[in-house]
Structure 1
């Protein structure tokens, strides 16, 4: 199994890195600024690039997949948290994009390619690789508790930055446009989705280990 697992994880890491680099090139070139009327400065564009949950989740997938390509049985507490963050985060990224964001986007050319890689191809590769090759068991209640800190901190930081600058990475978090009630409902919905994904992954982690 190890040679196949190594190749799969290497493929996943490669696609994630290509997707991130392509999106970064588009950001630097100033041709991927979403619906901005004016292109902001490079420093602001780079800061916003790093602020997207999509970018962070894809980066985590790339980092953990590279390590798994080297050692498919990688373990350790910090590793378990990072790997769970990567798989849960990329799962939520794909689901939220498909349900909430995809209908709002009208992309072409390389912007379209980067969007599909980040939001569809990498999630499928990462989740399929986890399901097929693990490693498992790796998910405990303690791991879930630590992993949940990342989306909570990201959400709090994003809302604080949005309140001070008026910029939000995702339309459903824009308090000025959507209102406090709508944003609160969206935050509750995404948090619930994370909890469901964590629970599903933990259950599958145990069951797949028993059948392997």
Structure 2
């Protein structure tokens, strides 16, 4: 088996298992803000963590089927998956970890979605690329996803008075502090994008054949 395809496939599998287990856990939890099943599951997919892992699942599954995909759209989605899951892992382990005590299946899903999926995705990108896939245009398109998530989260939160993470809770922090927090995450996202672009160029040159 092609090692690249094997790694991409395993990464997609980890994200899939984490998502399925989390859906099952959420479906069985009637104690939270959303007592009805439909709104509860819809709310689950409003979390940045879940959307990041969906991106990891889809892009890695596509790479497992064909590791060489040249389209700008796919390259933007691939970069989005790598950057978003990196932000997910960093923010979780520096800000959010420990806010809730989880056990059993919930703790297992939490580990897969916040730790194992980010680690596998980042290592897979570093080891297998694909290389030469990042440009300023790709970075520009990759910013659409986090901006859209932020806009949706703030608008929805203002309507239903509920926010998925403490650092975007306008009711508690106010818009000034929330926007400052989001600016910090945006700086992290763009710094990671610039670092990915630099590493991609560096590794592309090293892999180029010598005439």
The TM-score normalised by the length of structure 1 is: 0.94
Deviation at 1:43, TM superposition (A): 1.4
* Aligned positions of 1:36-51 closer than 5 A: 36=32, 40-51=35-46
Indicate yes or no: 2:181 matched with 1:186: yes
Q: Distance in 1 between matches of 2:45 and 2:102?
A: 20
User: What residue is the counterpart of 1:22 in the other structure?
Assistant: 21
Indicate yes or no: 2:82 matched with 1:87: yes
Any unmatched runs of 5+ in structure 2? none
Runs of 4+ in 1 over 6 A off after TM superposition: none
Could you say if the C-alpha distance between residues 130 and 170 of structure 1 is closer, same or farther in structure 2, counting changes exceeding 3 Å?
same
Question: In the alignment, is the contact (CA less than 8 A) between 1:61 and 1:126 conserved in 2?
Answer: yes
What is the Cα-based RMSD across aligned positions, in Å? 1.3
Q: Distance in 2 between matches of 1:211 and 1:139?
A: 16
Deviation at 1:44, TM superposition (A): 1.2
Deviation at 1:72, TM superposition (A): 1.4
Deviation at 1:108, TM superposition (A): 1.1
Question: In the alignment, is the contact (CA less than 8 A) between 1:30 and 1:39 conserved in 2?
Answer: no
Q: Distance in 1 between matches of 2:52 and 2:100?
A: 20
Aligned pairs, how many?
Answer: 207
Indicate yes or no: 2:48 matched with 1:53: yes
User: What residue is the counterpart of 1:135 in the other structure?
Assistant: 130
Q: Given the alignment, which residue of 170, 175, 191 partners 1:196?
A: 191
Deviation at 1:99, TM superposition (A): 0.9
Any unmatched runs of 5+ in structure 1? none
* DSSP 3-state at the match of 1:103: coil
Q: Given the alignment, which residue of 196, 201, 204 partners 1:209?
A: 204
Q: Distance in 2 between matches of 1:180 and 1:155?
A: 13
User: What residue is the counterpart of 2:3 in the other structure?
Assistant: 4
Deviation at 1:105, TM superposition (A): 2.2
Could you say if the C-alpha distance between residues 39 and 162 of structure 1 is closer, same or farther in structure 2, counting changes exceeding 3 Å?
closer
